[in-house]
């Protein structure tokens, strides 16, 4: 069952107070155009922009901005209780505690939703019909659970060592068994594994039983059929390959909106071996039932291929005074193989892929990283164990980007860069992926704010489909602008296919349209040999560089 609700004014993306209309041909769905030199989008019209030629606000513009701020505040005030009601209703919970009260609240919330959708339609009709209008943030998608309490839900898998997988799921029945049965043929389970379960509290919310069981040893590149908790549906998974080639899907800042559903659909439309997510998963932001909804939304993909994730700022969920433990939901629900990689924290860890041909390091942007910190000591030891003669590919993921020319989240990764960049450079890391900024941006190889053919390539991919909207403004004269090769504020996902020991191809697939379109593609050479290496750009967007 699906239910949709608006979380923010649909015509006012969280990162801007402008409706941005991108130039396009009549009757076409032409991609947004880009300014020369990697600048921002070419805008055909701006609504609500009161800045004068010099960038300062005129008196009339100031009044318009004040009215806009007041309207936004009023919208949020009315929107919040309506959204809360629709969230609770979608999840099968009472809002007021009384039947009559729910009827009244439900009618008000439904009327509000219709009004918001009407306003959205009006804004689109007011725009010229022959223009491509970049869509607003999509409504929240809620996935309700209507199965028995013992029925496993929110199933997702992760790799544990070379030949094992961790199966995680949730049951409303806290006494359900933590057992996984599995085999190579449908309905024929030749092995089983017992695990454990945990629960957590957040204010008045108590989670269901969160189960984790490790199965194996498993054969690489093999399909297994399995069932969790001796109940519910049979699922299948495919283990990653033992050798190259291997293909990673990379998405950040996923959330659970209509754009998220589009991203997941496009990912599922093509084959891959493993998914990497550099933070900001559910956007629950203290509303714990949204963690459950998110788990149900991603289950079709997350139960079939390993999802390896690290935490973003939206996983923190810490509140002052109340002193709720940060990352409580994330740590309970998304258990990663940190102990197997020598880490004491679920916020940072590493693992091998393709039989050790690739080593992936997941760092914690919101765990201590300075001199003397546990994460720094762990990273030094982890990188020291990597033998680049047998591991030609070294990848790093973190949440807050170290290089960023977008106006959003400027400088938020700078302290971590200063603390750790040299370590990655000396280890000859090939690519660093980040999220946090809700846009796509690819840099050349960099070290210490300068182009360096021996440094990592930096890619920001925080565009999975979050509810806050896109980060639309790039800074044309940013000090790193000359290092930025390609940037675009659109939702999408990326794919890194490591072909062999020396070559990999990276593609970014935009999903602002109804279909995924490859907008950026580049071939990458491994730095394992210690030689200078330059990324070879394919011809898809050379006219835009």
Task: Name the 3-class secondary structure at 141.
Answer: strand
> CA 455, CA 452: separation in Å to the nearest integer?
5
- With beta carbons less than 8 A apart as the criterion, state whether 333 and 307 touch: no
User: Bridge-partner residues for 185, per DSSP?
Assistant: 188
Length of the chain: 545
Token readout for 169 is 């799921």
Backbone angles phi, psi at 396, to 5 degrees: -130, 140
> CA 309, CA 346: separation in Å to the nearest integer?
10
Token readout for 523 is 């071939």
Q: Please state whether beta strands 274-278 and 246-250 pair in parallel, antiparallel, or not at all (unpaired).
A: parallel
Task: Name the 3-class secondary structure at 173.
Answer: coil
The position carrying tokens 């923190």 is 316
Token readout for 291 is 């963690």
Query: Which residues are within 8 A (CB) of 377 and not within 5 positions of it... i.e. 6 or more apart?
Result: none
Token readout for 311 is 């935490």
Could you count the other beta carbons within 10 Å of the beta carbon of residue 66? 10
Q: How many CA atoms lie within 13 A of 536 on its CB side?
A: 7
DSSP E strands: which ranges in 191-312? 191-194, 196-198, 201-202, 205-206, 209-215, 223-228, 235-238, 246-250, 274-278, 307-310
> CA 147, CA 14: separation in Å to the nearest integer?
35
The b/e string for 133-152 (b: 16+ C-beta within 10 A; e otherwise) is bbbbbbbbbbbbbeeeebbb
Q: Which residues are catalytically annotated? A: 409
Query: Which residues are within 8 A (CB) of 350 and not within 5 positions of it... i.e. 6 or more apart?
Result: 341, 343, 359, 360, 361, 362, 382
């Amino acid at each position: 069952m699906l239910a949709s609700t608006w979380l923010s004014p649909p015509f006012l993306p969280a990162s801007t107070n402008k409706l941005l209309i991108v130039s396009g041909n009549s009757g076409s769905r032409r991609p947004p155009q880009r300014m020369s030199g990697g600048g921002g989008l070419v805008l055909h019209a701006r609504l609500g922009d009161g800045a004068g030629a010099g960038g300062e606000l005129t008196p009339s513009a100031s009044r318009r901005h004040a009215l806009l701020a007041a309207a936004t505040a009023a919208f949020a005030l009315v929107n919040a209780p309506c959204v809360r009601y629709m969230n609770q209703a979608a999840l099968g919970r009472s809002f007021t505690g009384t039947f009559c009260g729910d009827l009244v609240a439900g009618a008000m919330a439904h009327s509000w939703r219709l009004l918001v959708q009407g306003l959205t339609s009006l804004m689109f009709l007011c725009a010229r019909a022959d223009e491509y209008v970049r869509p607003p943030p999509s409504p929240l998608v809620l996935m309700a659970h209507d199965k028995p309490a013992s029925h496993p839900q929110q199933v997702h898998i992760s790799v544990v060592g070379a030949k094992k997988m961790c199966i995680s799921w949730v049951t409303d029945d806290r006494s359900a068994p933590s057992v996984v049965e599995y085999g190579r043929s449908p309905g024929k389970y030749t092995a089983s594994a017992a695990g454990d379960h945990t629960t957590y509290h957040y204010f008045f919310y108590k989670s269901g039983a969160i189960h984790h069981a490790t199965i194996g040893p498993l054969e690489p590149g093999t399909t297994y059929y399995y069932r969790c908790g001796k109940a519910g549906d049979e699922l299948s998974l495919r283990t990653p390959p033992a050798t190259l080639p291997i293909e990673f899907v990379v998405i950040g800042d996923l959330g659970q909106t209509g754009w998220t559903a589009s991203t997941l659909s496009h990912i599922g439309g093509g084959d891959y071996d493993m998914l990497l997510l550099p933070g900001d998963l559910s956007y629950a932001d203290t509303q714990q039932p949204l963690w459950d909804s998110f788990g149900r939304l991603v289950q079709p993909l997350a139960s079939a291929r390993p999802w390896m994730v690290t935490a973003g700022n939206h996983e923190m969920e810490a509140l002052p005074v109340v002193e709720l433990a940060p990352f409580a939901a994330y740590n309970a629900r998304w258990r990663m193989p940190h102990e197997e990689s020598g880490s004491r924290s679920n916020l940072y860890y590493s693992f091998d892929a393709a039989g050790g041909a690739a080593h992936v390091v997941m760092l914690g942007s919101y765990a201590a990283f300075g001199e003397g910190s546990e994460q720094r000591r762990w990273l030094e030891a982890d990188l020291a164990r990597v033998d680049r003669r047998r591991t030609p590919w070294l990848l790093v993921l973190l949440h807050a980007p170290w290089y960023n020319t977008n106006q959003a989240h400027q400088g938020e990764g700078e302290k971590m860069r200063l603390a750790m960049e040299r370590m990655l450079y000396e280890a000859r890391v090939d690519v660093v992926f980040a999220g946090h900024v809700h846009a796509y941006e690819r840099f050349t190889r960099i070290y210490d704010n300068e182009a360096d053919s021996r440094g990592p390539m930096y890619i920001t991919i925080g565009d999975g489909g979050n509810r806050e909207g896109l980060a639309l403004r790039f800074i044309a004269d940013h000090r790193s602008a000359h290092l930025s090769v390609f940037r675009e504020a659109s939702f999408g996902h990326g794919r890194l296919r490591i072909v062999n020991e020396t070559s990999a191809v990276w593609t970014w697939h935009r999903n602002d349209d109804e279909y995924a379109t490859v907008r950026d593609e580049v071939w990458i050479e491994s730095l394992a040999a210690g030689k200078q290496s330059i990324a070879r750009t394919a011809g898809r967007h050379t006219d835009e560089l």
